Amino acid sequence: MNRSKIYRFRHGLAVPLAELALLDFTQFRETLLDEVASGARVVAYFGLPVDREVELYSIFAHDWTSELALIRTRVCGSFPSLTPECPQLHLFERELAEQFGLRPEGHPWLKPVRFHRAWIDAADIWGRPAGEQPIPGDMEFYRVEGEEVHEVAVGPVHAGVIEPGHFRFQCHGEQVMHLEISLGYQHRGIEQLLTGGPHPSSVYQMEAAAGDTTVGHTTVYAQLLESLANCKVPLRAQALRAIALELERLANHVGDIGALAGDVGFLPTASFCGRLRGDYLNLTAELCGSRFGRGLIRPGGVGFDLDGTLPLPFLERLKQLEENTRGAIELCFDSPSVLGRFEGTGLVKADAAEALGLVGVAARACGLVRDVRLHHPFGGLCDRFDTPIIEFDGDVFARSNVRRREIYASFELLHQLFKNLPEGEIRLPLGPLAAESLAVSLSEGWRGEVVHTAITDAQGRIARYKIIDPSFHNWSGLALSLRGGQISDFPLCNKSFNLSYCGVDL
Amino acid sequence: MIGRITLQLALLLIFAPLPLGVINKTKALFAGRVGPPLLQPYYDLARLWRKGFVISRTTTWVFLAGPVVGLVVPLLAALLLPFGGLTAPISFTGDLILFVYLFGLSRFFTAAAALDTGSSFEGMGAAREVTFSCLAEPTLLFSLLVLASGAKSLNLGALFGPQLAGQWQNGNSASLGLIFVALFVVLLVENSRIPFDDPNTHLELTMVHEVMVLDHSGPALGMILYGAAMKLMVLSAMLVRIAVPAQTGSLLFDLLIFLAGLLMLAVLIGIVESTMARLQLPRIPQVLVGTTLLSIFALILVLR
């Protein structure tokens, strides 16, 4: 059988595992570093326990050729860490260490990610007592010592109604020298719940993987099953998914700009955007009955159709909303006092963003052209999106300006999508999944690239399901943006990234 | 004398929370909201007064001294200052120094109470508060000196007395305009208003004043809020008097002019808060140095 060292494929196709060579670790390592050096990004890196060993899979995205690539190897016990040469793997390797008791030798920052017990019967590499649930945040934090150096700990219980996460600042006066973020307080074990599936409950779990990205995660989940079942989704269903995705982007981006304005104490925009966000959520509710798009996206298509008469009033309301939204946003971007706060705050350099593998809004604000809608479109809607929004400064202003311009671009996209809404079926029955295959599915959620990967067993059931929320990559970007900054700017930087906690905790 | 003191204190105690309600209403209007009722600050105080104390075991008597001093100081300071056309109940030469440093005393105790909790947030807030107020202090002093050199007197009663109206006419109007601006900035800084601080934020890392009182609850928090409201009114009284130095001779009319002035000033604060974002923390000292220079310039204009 002809087995290639590296398997290259396109988004939406399932890879039969029989065609993928099993490399030894040295080969795996060289291929991985070569791929990254040639401009690929690692979109997923995960393990699947086989016998007493763990099979490592690495999936790359070559953005400018719209190509995905896959390699695998097997490791046992410990393996030399790739993080020093390829920093974007740092969290993936920590995750492997926690899930399978593997030790990435030479990892510079080997700490738990989610504080759960190992998935397989393996010794914990941190020596935590077996059979006990680890306590989130129970680890050695990085510490700076010296005159006038002080430590500030925030969370996991916060003053606002937000998710739990722990932040440790090492400060010299008002200046932050280092920020360490510890998550895992909401670990639910979603990936393991899918093993042996897909179960009837799986789609609901996907909707709740990260509540503010319901459409993003369910779209990716549906695409993944469709790839594995080789199901060609009707164009109308794809258009409706795209509409829901843009509405989700609008609601969240508008809400974020309002929250950013609120953080700097600019009240009018904060209040207006808070209301407008609700209006966009209500539009989604009109589509499917849920403000967050639950129940809309189903494997094989969509759960609800748009009535023949609905597009017109929909477009009218959208026009009205567009006018109000532009007014509220421009008010904020025209205020010198607001710009004074946004500009130059929370800088992330482009090379750091690239090394850490940032995605989505945070990456585009650093000048990196990363947009799944452009690079890896799924199905028949390839021609709808051609202009990713790029800013170059990497500060809070750049991140909010990407959002502002994406809001305006989403209006255009929605108008086009409504105008060219294809007729026809909205859902096809999903056949059985291909056995012993792997599929990758990506989508540009409002926060960034959402990636799901599944490997099926001999019976066509899911043997390993891997979810990567954009927040997984971007939390390190937030920590970096605070280096040398003011501690009082943290809430503003945090809001400019607006990352999901449960999307990482899973 | 006793009558004047009672009247002054009664005015302060009754009307102090009202400007806060006006500020909040103005902000709500700008944001397109209905906003809380005008009398909400009174309801809040009543609610806090009915609650119990929660006091950390690590704190000492200093922790409770903060709110008490914070409440008493504006009451004492109010006795030295004329409220509009009403004369000051207590007046002696050099009382302006006492006036300025009474607030220094209250700040000392608030900061000490914050440090007493041992929380890193409160320590941070105390450091910020002390830094900013020690930069705001020269502005206040120089502004009072401008008034003093015009009035040829060193007591507040005379500074803000009937002669103030004449100052606007006899060529000191430029100086008065400058110190009005400088004192307005001091008012915003001292009362933790936007653009220097955000009284409504829940983000403890960005707070200046609010973070110092995070551990106070119930009646102690009520005392702090009441004290802050009275401080706002006392400092506003200076600005109102400079802007409207009218003297009708009738107690009732002077009182009405004063109260109307207070509410107008509250609206002005509300407008500033609605149209500006907060300054970045390192910018605040720069602004305060600027206002100090402004008040020195005003003094030079008067002395020239």
Q: What is the percent of chain B where pLDDT is above 70? A: 100
CB count in 10 Å sphere of residue A383: 7
Residue A200: CB partners within 8 Å, gap ≥ 6? none
Nearest to B4 by CA among B82, B72, B64, B56: B82
What DSSP designation does A377 have? -
Q: Given the structure tokens 């809309």, which residue do they identify?
A: A296
CA distance A1 to A46: 26
pLDDT of B16 above 80 = yes
CA distance A290 to A324: 23
Q: Residues A94-101: contacts with CB within 8 Å, 24+ apart?
A: A95/A46, A96/A45, A96/A46, A96/A47, A96/A54, A96/A56, A97/A125, A99/A47, A100/A47, A100/A49, A100/A54, A101/A125
Least CB–CB distance from B31: residue in A152, A271, A490: A271
Chain A interface, best mutation among B26, B276, B286, by max A CB count within 10 A:
B276
Least CB–CB distance from B32: residue in A152, A266, A271: A271
Tokens of A501: 């906690």
Containing H/E element for B140? helix B120-151
What residues form DSSP beta bridges with A181?
A167
Nearest residue of A to residue B128 by CA position?
A174
Angle, helix A267-288 to helix B251-275, in steps of 10 degrees: 50
| Residues A340, B194: C-beta atoms closer than 8 Å | no
Nearest residue of A to residue B193 by CA position?
A265
CA distance A324 to B229: 36
Q: What is the percent of chain A where pLDDT is above 90? A: 54
Least CB–CB distance from A152: residue in B120, B203, B276: B120
Average confidence score pLDDT of chain A: 89
What residues form DSSP beta bridges with A80?
A105
Angle at A260 between CA A257 and CA A262, to 5 degrees: 110
User: Tell me, what's the pLDDT at A221?
Assistant: 94
| Residues B273, A490: C-beta atoms closer than 8 Å | no
All residues of chain A having their beta carbon less than 8 Å from the beta carbon of residue B205 are 152, 154, 487-488, 490-491
Chain A interface, best mutation among B26, B278, B284, B286, by max A CB count within 10 A:
B278
User: Tell me, what's the pLDDT at B192?
Assistant: 87
Question: What is the average per-residue pLDDT within B160-189?
Answer: 88
All residues of chain B having their beta carbon less than 8 Å from the beta carbon of residue A488 are 205-206, 280-281
Q: Given the structure tokens 């040639």, which residue do they identify?
A: A38
Least CB–CB distance from A268: residue in B128, B198, B274: B274
Give the three-class secondary structure for A337: helix
| Ramachandran assignment for A184, one of left (phi > 0), alpha (psi -120 to 50 degrees), beta (any other) | left
Nearest residue of B to residue A265 by CA position?
B277
Angle, helix B95-116 to helix B218-243, in steps of 10 degrees: 150
Could you give the C-alpha distances from A289 to A44, A130, A194, A282, A294, in angstroms and in order? 33, 46, 26, 9, 8
Nearest residue of A to residue B270 by CA position?
A267
The B residues from 116 to 145 touching A (CB cutoff 8 Å) are 120-121, 123-124, 128
Q: Given the structure tokens 């028949």, which residue do they identify?
A: A380
CB A333 within 8 Å of CB A341: no
Question: What is the average per-residue pLDDT within A228-251?
Answer: 90
Containing H/E element for A172? strand A166-172
Nearest residue of A to residue B272 by CA position?
A266
Backbone angles phi, psi at A151, to 5 degrees: -110, 135
Backbone angles phi, psi at A318, to 5 degrees: -65, -40
Tokens of A405: 């311009």
Q: Which CATH number fits the domain A7-136, given the four candidates 3.30.1120, 3.40.50, 2.60.120, 3.30.460?
A: 3.30.460
Question: What is the average per-residue pLDDT within A372-393?
Answer: 79
Q: What is the complex's ipTM, to 2 decimals?
A: 0.85
Angle at A52 between CA A47 and CA A55, to 5 degrees: 25
Tokens of A499: 């990352």
| Residues A267, B201: C-beta atoms closer than 8 Å | no
All residues of chain B having their beta carbon less than 8 Å from the beta carbon of residue A152 are 120-121, 124, 205
DSSP letters for B39-66: THHHHHHHHHHHSPP---TT--HHHHHH
User: Tell me, what's the pLDDT at A219?
Assistant: 93
Residue B67: CB partners within 8 Å, gap ≥ 6? B113, B216, B220, B221, B223, B224, B227
CB B119 within 8 Å of CB B216: no
Nearest residue of A to residue B206 by CA position?
A488
CATH 3.30.460 boundaries in chain A:
7-136
Parallel, antiparallel, or unpaired: how do β-strands A7-9 and A67-75 relate?
Answer: antiparallel
What DSSP designation does A141 have? P
CB count in 10 Å sphere of residue B294: 18
Could you give the C-alpha distances from B68 to B110, B129, B248, in angstroms and in order? 9, 18, 37
Our CA dihedral for A110, A111, A115, A120, rounded to 10 degrees, sits at: 20
Q: Which CATH superfamily is domain A190-505 in?
A: Cytochrome-c3 Hydrogenase, chain B (1.10.645.10)
Nearest residue of A to residue B277 by CA position?
A266
Helices (H), A114-234: 190-193, 202-207, 214-229
Question: What is the average per-residue pLDDT within A320-346?
Answer: 91
Chain A interface, best mutation among B121, B132, B205, B207, by max A CB count within 10 A:
B205
Chain B interface, best mutation among A263, A266, A276, A396, by max B CB count within 10 A:
A266
| Residues A341, B121: C-beta atoms closer than 8 Å | no
Least CB–CB distance from A159: residue in B203, B277, B281: B203
Burial state string for B214-252 with b = 16 or more CB within 10 A and e = fewer than 16? bbbebbbbbbbbbbbbbbbbbbbbbbbbbbbbbbeeeee
Tokens of A169: 């600042």
Looking at residue B230, its amino acid is M
What residues form DSSP beta bridges with A468?
A451
| Residues A337, B282: C-beta atoms closer than 8 Å | no
C-alpha dihedral sign at A321, A322, A323, A324: positive
| Residues B30, A486: C-beta atoms closer than 8 Å | no
CA distance A95 to A100: 8
Question: What is the average per-residue pLDDT within B241-254?
Answer: 86
Tokens of A255: 């809400």
CA distance B235 to B81: 10
The answer to whether A266 faces chain B, any CB pair under 8 Å, is yes
User: Tell me, what's the pLDDT at A2?
Assistant: 47
Position A329 confidence tier, pLDDT thresholds 50, 70, 90: very high
pLDDT tens-place string over residues A84-118: 999 999 999 999 999 988 899 999 999 999 988 88
Our CA dihedral for B166, B171, B175, B178, rounded to 10 degrees, sits at: 90
CA distance A438 to B218: 60
Question: What is the average per-residue pLDDT within A29-45?
Answer: 91
Tokens of B38: 């005008």
Position A384 confidence tier, pLDDT thresholds 50, 70, 90: low
CA distance B91 to A176: 49
Least CB–CB distance from B203: residue in A271, A275, A491: A491
CB A446 within 8 Å of CB A253: yes
Q: Mean pLDDT: which of A84-98, A295-309, B79-93, B193-207 is highest?
A: A84-98
User: Tell me, what's the pLDDT at A381?
Assistant: 59
The answer to whether B273 faces chain A, any CB pair under 8 Å, is yes
Least confident window among A204-213, A219-228, A238-247, B246-255: B246-255
CATH 1.10.645.10 boundaries in chain A:
190-505
pLDDT tens-place string over residues A140-198: 889 998 888 888 888 798 887 888 999 999 999 889 999 999 998 999 999 999 998 78
Least confident window among A350-354, B24-28, B166-170: B166-170
The answer to whether B289 faces chain A, any CB pair under 8 Å, is no
Nearest residue of B to residue A168 by CA position?
B120
pLDDT of A1 above 60 = no
Backbone angles phi, psi at B295, to 5 degrees: -75, -30
Chain B interface, best mutation among A151, A168, A267, by max B CB count within 10 A:
A267
Residue B47: CB partners within 8 Å, gap ≥ 6? none
